[in-house]
Amino acid sequence: MVTMQDVARQAGVSVMTVSNVINGRPHVRDATRDRVLTAIDDLGYAVNAAARNLRQGRTGVIGLAIPDIDRPYFGLLSELIIERAAADGYEVVIEHTGADRERELGALRHSRLRSYDGLIISAVNLSGADAALFRGELPVVVLGERSYDEKVDHVVMPNEEGGAIVARHLLAEGATSLAMIGGRYDPERPDWAGNLRAAGFVEAAAEAGVTVDERLMIECEYSMPGGREAVARLLDTGIRFDGLFCATDVLAIGAIRGLRDRGIRVPDDVLVAGFDDVPLAEYTIPAVTSLAPDHRGMVDAALSMLLSRIAGERSAGDYREHISAPRLVARESTNGAAHS
């Protein structure tokens, strides 16, 4: 069994320093902390508390690493995961990564130290070549759009299909000139959610004989102020549009405010649709039409993958992928009644 002394020798530090890192104490230099964490990773060290727990059984704790804790989508996702995990007797610890690569790596490393039975991670900046990080002894389920060089347990948002559904809906409701904020085609970012949603949106419009002007596809910060500012940029182009796809509901809410700033009515003058179907979308005025990606189905799939891996019910090479079934929830912002 690997000991704390082994870790200290590997990292070239004292046992006390290793203890300080494990317990998250301050005043440890970043470079030193990194050396200790690397040594722990390389040696496969588990703290004594974890070893005792593992001898007795599982800890009953899983980690959830997400990029943001203040966005409605991740708040909804976290709530559903906590609810579903509790039904299976598990507690959830949430870790905030800020979509930073080093913090995403840290979430994986710290899962071993914190004795999680498994980890669900919404990975933004781990690349396709990082698949090996998700295929170790610790059960990991990855949320997100990125494809990986090897198979991993993976739950994927239906981005392209969702974007296509939104385009068809806007056209069916009478829009003739389409715009989008929060996404545009970018070959340098093939796995970016905004890019995938834009691709589905543009392709579905083209199938209906409508070309989306590239000047009417605006990238922006995914926030309400970002949506408001992006709409101002759209309007400043002087190019007419009467159907607007916003890559998230938060953007849609900001966009509706931005359109109103210019005296443009929703849905009378411009139809607006979002993506995510967060609870807030139903309560704005007008209520926001949104692409619902089947949050519960995604959460159920993620927990099923994770818990079956924790229970040892699958072979080491049995990795699975789940893509949820989306549906459109039509509300006041497009003058529609709810349908899929």
Q: What is the pLDDT of residue 273?
A: 98
Same domain, 141 and 169: no
Q: 75 Cβ partners below 8 Å, 6+ apart?
A: 69, 278
Q: Which amino acid is at 153?
A: D
Which range has the worst mean pLDDT, 61-70, 220-229, 257-266?
61-70
Q: What is the pLDDT of residue 47?
A: 63
Residue 104 located in a structural domain: yes
Give the pLDDT mean for 328-333: 97
Same domain, 190 and 228: yes
Note the helical H segments in the chain.
Answer: 4-11, 15-22, 30-43, 48-56, 72-87, 101-113, 159-172, 193-207, 224-236, 249-261, 295-310
Residue 340 located in a structural domain: no
For the chain, percent of residues with pLDDT exceeding 70 = 94
Enumerate the β-bridge partners of residue 271: 243
Same domain, 270 and 173: yes
Same domain, 181 and 153: no
Residue 127 located in a structural domain: yes
Same domain, 182 and 273: yes
Q: Are 325 and 244 in contact (CB under 8 A)?
A: no
Same domain, 22 and 120: no
Q: How many domains does the chain have?
A: 3
Residue 339 located in a structural domain: no
Reported pTM: 0.79
Which structural domain range is residue 23 located in?
A: 1-45
Same domain, 187 and 242: yes
- Helix or strand holding residue 216 (H, E): none
Residue 50 located in a structural domain: no
Strand, helix or coil for residue 192: coil
Same domain, 221 and 198: yes
pLDDT greater than 70 at residue 40: yes
Give the pLDDT mean for 70-77: 89
- Average pLDDT of every residue of the chain: 89
Same domain, 258 and 283: yes
Same domain, 314 and 280: no
Tens of pLDDT, residues 158-180: 999 999 999 999 999 999 999 99
For the chain, percent of residues with pLDDT exceeding 90 = 62
- Starting at the earlier edge strand, list the strands of the sheet with 271-275: 217-218, 178-181, 243-246, 271-275, 289-292, 327-329
Q: What is the pLDDT of residue 186?
A: 75
Residue 40: give its domain's CATH number.
Answer: 1.10.260.40
Q: What is the pLDDT of residue 340?
A: 38
Going by C-alpha positions, the residue among 59, 142, 128 that lies closest to residue 321 is 142
Q: Are 322 and 159 in contact (CB under 8 A)?
A: no
Which range has the worst mean pLDDT, 113-122, 247-256, 300-309?
113-122
Residue 259: give its domain's CATH number.
Answer: 3.40.50.2300
